[in-house]
Amino acid sequence: MGSAQIHGQGEKIMLRTRFTSVGVLAAGLLGLGCLVASQPATAASRAPAASPLIGGYKVVTVTQTANAGAVSTATAACPSPKDVVGGGASGSANIGHLENIQSSYPSGTAAWTATVTNTDSVNGTFTVYAICATVHGAYGTVFGQAVESPSGSQTGAVADCPTTTSALSGGGYNTLSVLGVDLNLEEPLAASPSPIDGFGSDTNNTSSSDDNATQAVAVCMTTPQGYEVVTGSNVTVPAQSQGSTSVSCPSGTVVTGGGVFDQESSDTVDLNASFPAGETAWDIFENNPSSFSDPLTGYAICAKP
């Protein structure tokens, strides 16, 4: 299979500006390049808007076959006129640790797309999640700078939200649709006291091709009430196993996104699932076929509906 189009080459590509009392999302955004936070994110410390900016919260799912020895893609679409404020994907659990997420990202402003790889000899399934809501205020989808992801490497990328906005969700996008190109992590970068807010992603390329490029993606909007990035407990995934963690939102809030920080740099540890568990939690599953244990930390991004 060939390579897909790079999104935006470091610029926002799907920006919808709302002229309201809460302000305007600035144009001309650029990603920072091939950086990923070296430490897990902590709760964001940003001033919330005067009123909730998301309403009509709804999670839409689509489940599809993950064909054996192949790459499969599916999209979950929001009902009109709702916008996509977040999303994720989950692969089959424990089928030999061989089904991984290759890409998970917003496609347009009203849908979420995910691609999975399945190197097993049997079919599996995977589910794509779109978190939908009616958005009021500054809102946009930012694809960060495209970074080369050569064979035998683990490559990081970031997508930054502009000042006065926060990342409600995010993910990663890879241009090369072949087995062996998989996400290792996707994490919110709302680390206090740093002013950086956005999303980071790491991609493992164990294929024989040097033609992949990777981008982090962030869904950004005016910081809503109750906005918080909740950090879960550290979890260790034993060697040659699949591990998981779940992070819950505070009472009175809903989950809009989440992610995971993987503390090892092995290009064999891949993301199997990162998705909303109902309306108030975020679940992560990581495949670790290596010979060593792998510590990871999960996150949930939360806001009042």
- Domain chopping of the chain, boundaries: 8-303
Classified as helix, coil or strand, 10 is helix
Q: What is the 3-state secondary structure (H, E, C) of 201-225?
A: EEEEECCCCCCEEEEEEEEEEECCC
CA distances from 166 to 189, 230, 303 (A): 10, 14, 11
What is the phi/psi pair of residue 110, to 5°? -140, 25
First to last CA, the chain: 41
Q: Are 86 and 101 contacting, i.e. CB atoms less than 8 angstroms apart?
A: no
Reported in sequence order, the residue ranges of 119-211 that DSSP labels E, i.e. its strands, are 124-135, 139-143, 147-149, 153-160, 165-174, 181-188, 198-205
Nearest CA among 76, 75, 84 for reference residue 16: 84
Residues belonging to the chain: 305
**Model confidence, pTM:** 0.85
> Residue 15: is its pLDDT beyond 90?
no
CATH class of the region 8-303? mainly beta
Q: How do residues 213-267 score in pLDDT, each as one tens digit?
A: 999 999 999 988 899 999 999 999 999 899 999 999 999 999 999 999 987 677 8
Confidence of residue 268 (pLDDT cuts 50, 70, 90): confident
Q: How do residues 147-168 score in pLDDT, each as one tens digit?
A: 999 999 999 999 999 888 999 9
Q: Are 92 and 78 contacting, i.e. CB atoms less than 8 angstroms apart?
A: no
> What gap in Å lies between CA 262 and CA 85, rounded to an integer?
24
Q: Which of 63-72, 264-273, 287-296 is predicted with the least confidence, judged by mean pLDDT?
A: 264-273
Confidence of residue 79 (pLDDT cuts 50, 70, 90): very high
Query: What is the chain's mean pLDDT, rounded?
Result: 82
> Residue 87: is its pLDDT beyond 70?
yes
